[in-house]
Amino acid sequence: MFFKSFFNPQVAQFSYLVGCQKTGEAIIIDPLRALDDYIKAAEDEGLVITAATETHIHADYASGLRETGSRLGAKLYVSDMGGDDWRYQDLPEGSVLLQDGDIISVGKVKLEVLHTPGHTPESVSFLLTDIGGGSDIPMGLFTGDFIFVGDVGRPDLLEEAAHMQGTTEIGAKAMFRSLQKMADYPDHLQIWPGHGAGSACGKSLGAVPMTTLGYEKHNNWAFQYDEETSFIEALTQDQPEPPTYFARMKKINKLDSDAYMPYPVFPLQQAGPNDRVIDLRVKEMYQAGHIERTLNFPLNKKFLTYAGWFLDYEGQVTLIGTKEDAQSAARQLQLIGFDQVRGYLDAGQIADDKMTETITAAAFIALRQEKDLQILDVRSKSEWDEGHLSDAKRVILGKLLEDPLPFKRDEPLYVHCQSGVRSSVAIGALEERGFKKIVNILGGYTAIENSLNG
């Protein structure tokens, strides 16, 4: 048997290529849109990708499942469980609809389908047995967003991102039952999850790429509950707010998505009149001078998280940065199904005359003692609950262009996050909302707390 995992840090996602070396067949599990890495890995081993499957309808990235069918002629295997609302639509002819207990055979490799709802109603896991290697017992389990290293999949995405009321409790109860079923499976099973640390599909995912069922039974917090009510309470608390693009991903992955077409990004003289303009530079360069109302999403592992909050999928984007950074950003945006980058403005040639006013935490505290200030906290609810300024008001970063902002636009607005990164992202959004005097508190709440306690 051939086995290879692939990790994409931009969406903290694992996908897998499994092949039978006796017959030369291979299957991709949870593919991304860009298939070249899978194709090369298969070709290097003398394998042909004949099948593709996924553990559930994904919300955090654009699936490459249909792409494997149209581009490679692979047979598609998808869950047919969870009810009518959670069935794939417009699948190519010859696709196989899976039920609990079904078997996918890839040469002498067997994948048994286990219905493991909780994260979503249709979620499945795949129990792998290497029959060609002489084994009659399973080796491991592809769990998707069911079991992670140190965590389990959140049950609230359908309610939080897709606004399907009442689905959180239903999902949490299903997750409890799915975990209880794992008691019947041997501890030696390797666990190959769908995500690692950095994903918003759980709240405490580990950075280790794999684990075992026995280890998770002993160490994963979710396996320590044998009573449903307390488990549900623990599971639904402190989940990170999902980016708004999750709802769109859920829809297009269920229905269909456009074919993946990499494209070059060309230099522009100016942005389109209605473009969302994204500045890719580090926050220090952005604050030293930027085009007013542009959004600062530095090109790092959080780039897609920030972009996913603010993208308009019906519009276009102009980027600010180097040619290399612009091309990289465009490729990353394609991971979440956004193909509408118009081009880029060279960061060295723009009129970046809008400076961000900043203030140190110590100076801010001194000023706050002298007079009342408008203070905006853009952190998550869990961060806020751990400690916040009594006179601050919280609006999560991703909702700054949507939610009412209870501040006067012609008076100074002091903005902070935890460390100073998200508050820099907030600057352009607040400029777009008409605020004239925005002051970024350097070092964020961490610096404020240190100064208060110092």
- What is the C-alpha separation between 250 and 400, in angstroms, rounded? 23
Residue among 62, 55, 67 nearest 10 (CA): 62
What is the CATH classification number for the domain harbouring 131?
A: 3.60.15.10
**In-domain check, residue 294:** yes
What is this structure's pTM? 0.94
Choice between 7 and 90, residue whose per-residue pLDDT is larger: 7
Domain CATH code at residue 297: 3.40.250.10
Using CB atoms within 10 A of its CB, is residue 134 exposed (0-12), middle (13-18) or buried (19+)?
Answer: exposed
Same structural domain, 179 and 316: no
Residues 243 and 298 in one domain: no
Q: Does residue 191 sit in the same domain as residue 323?
A: no
- As for how many domains the chain has, the answer is 3
Q: Indicate whether 365 and 304 sit together in one domain.
A: no
How confident is the model over 251-265, as a mean pLDDT? 90
Q: Report the DSSP pairing between strands 190-193 and 211-212.
A: antiparallel
Contacts of 214 (CB under 8 A, 6+ apart): 186, 187, 188, 189
Give the whole-angstrom CA distance, residue 278 versus residue 349.
15
Task: Please indicate, yes or no, whether residues 87 and 138 belong to a single structural domain of this protein.
Answer: yes
Same domain, 160 and 108: yes
pLDDT at 257 over 90: no
pLDDT (0 to 100) of residue 351? 76
Q: Do 89 and 50 fall within a single domain? A: yes
Residue 12 and residue 142 in one domain: yes
Same domain assignment for residues 230 and 322: no
| Residue at 80 is within a domain | yes
Mean pLDDT for 51-68 is: 97
Tell me the per-residue pLDDT of 398-437, one tens digit each, with 9 for 90 and over. 999 999 999 999 999 999 999 999 999 999 999 999 999 9
DSSP string, 261-279: ------B-SS--TTPEEEE
Residue ranges making up the domain that contains 105: 2-254
Answer yes or no: are the C-beta atoms of 276 and 296 closer than 8 Å. no
Percent of the chain with pLDDT over 90: 92
Q: Which residues pair with 125 in a beta bridge?
A: 114
270 domain-assigned? no
Q: Sorting pLDDT into bands at 50, 70 and 90, what band is 258?
A: confident
How far is Cα 38 from Cα 49, in angstroms, rounded to an integer?
8
| Within a domain: 322 | yes
> Are 215 and 79 in a shared domain?
yes
Give the C-alpha separation, 380 to 369, whole Å: 26
Regarding whether 186 and 330 lie in a shared domain, the answer is no
**Nearest 5°: phi and psi at 63?**
-70, 145
- Looking at residue 170, its amino acid is I
Q: Is the per-residue pLDDT at 160 higher than 90?
A: no
54 located within any domain: yes
Indicate whether 95 and 169 sit together in one domain: yes
